[in-house]
Amino acid sequence: METYFLEGEIPNCEPEQAAVHVIPAPLETSVSYGGGTAGGPAAILEASTQLELWNGRSCPAEAGIHTAASAEGNGGTKDSLRAIEESVDFAIECGAVPFVIGGEHTVTLGALRALKKKYGNFGIVQFDAHADLRSSYEGDPLSHACVMRRAVEDLGLQLFQLGVRALCVEEVEFRKETSSVNGIDARELYLNGVPERLLPEGFPENIYITFDVDGLDPSVIRATGTPVPGGINWHDAISLIEKAAAGRKVIGADVVELAPQSGDHASDFAAAQLVYELIGYCVD
């Protein structure tokens, strides 16, 4: 078995006793620029062995973390998504919060499908440089560039986007046409800072947080397929997560699109730290 999350600091908790299941999902079938996201989960798990258990507020690991076997299909996106969905189903059966580490952003869809069966309606809070709202990209409706379109259009979920700064015309128009997509883009965050109240009135109490690491500025994490300048800084990202989670239940989360690069262990470590920070809001 590959390294488990926080190995050397805590035991790999039994599935039925864990508050969180960390689910590696090394899917990489539709990357459109720099590749390498298949290596993201292993790099995050390896970097997590260097984390401190105290995250500045608490020790989330005390709640119990189980690292599952990699959710990999026998070939192709659909099979991989089915494997991810089954792993998330199992986490839910164990009473744990599923936390997927990718892999390309498409992995989120597998988790959302499982959570939709359990919870019905819930909201998605997306950190990302890109809107991922294309109906299809390079002929593939299951591309990483389409994952939020699938969530909104196919699963009927509400979406709040943070840090977006790269959109195509189709995505701009889709945002205008649907009331299910709201958010604060990177430029607005830069000009106005983190708002006191983040999510809109009526946004679901149950939320899923999906964090594409390119939502952060490349000065924080450079090792990603398409690093876009002008992203969210680390402390603003943590403040935004805190405000999103306040008064709500985080029913699942993911960190995706880390593409490890030789010599850049800072990006791997930052991604692992981000996972641990988010786990803290899953178990609070």
The CA distances from residue 45 to 57, 189, 273, in Å, are 22, 31, 10
Q: How confident is the model at residue 284 (pLDDT cuts 50, 70, 90)?
A: confident
Read off the pTM.
0.97
Cα of first residue to Cα of last residue in the chain, in angstroms, is 29
pLDDT at 29 (0 to 100)? 84
Average pLDDT over residues 200-211: 97
Q: How confident is the model at residue 35 (pLDDT cuts 50, 70, 90)?
A: confident
pLDDT at 34 (0 to 100)? 58
pLDDT at 97 (0 to 100)? 98
List, for residues 112-166, the tens digit of each pLDDT value.
Answer: 999 999 999 999 999 999 999 999 999 999 999 999 999 999 999 999 999 999 9
What percent of the chain shows pLDDT beyond 70?
A: 98
List, for residues 68-124, the tens digit of each pLDDT value.
Answer: 999 997 778 999 999 999 999 999 999 999 999 999 999 999 999 999 999 999 999
pLDDT at 5 (0 to 100)? 98
Does 64 sit behind a cis peptide bond, omega within 30 degrees of 0 on the bond before it? no
List, for residues 266-283, the tens digit of each pLDDT value.
Answer: 999 999 999 999 999 999
Under 8 Å between Cβ of 212 and 254: no
Q: Which amino acid is at 140?
A: D
List, for residues 11-34, the tens digit of each pLDDT value.
Answer: 999 999 999 999 999 998 866 555
CATH class for the domain made up of 15-283: alpha beta
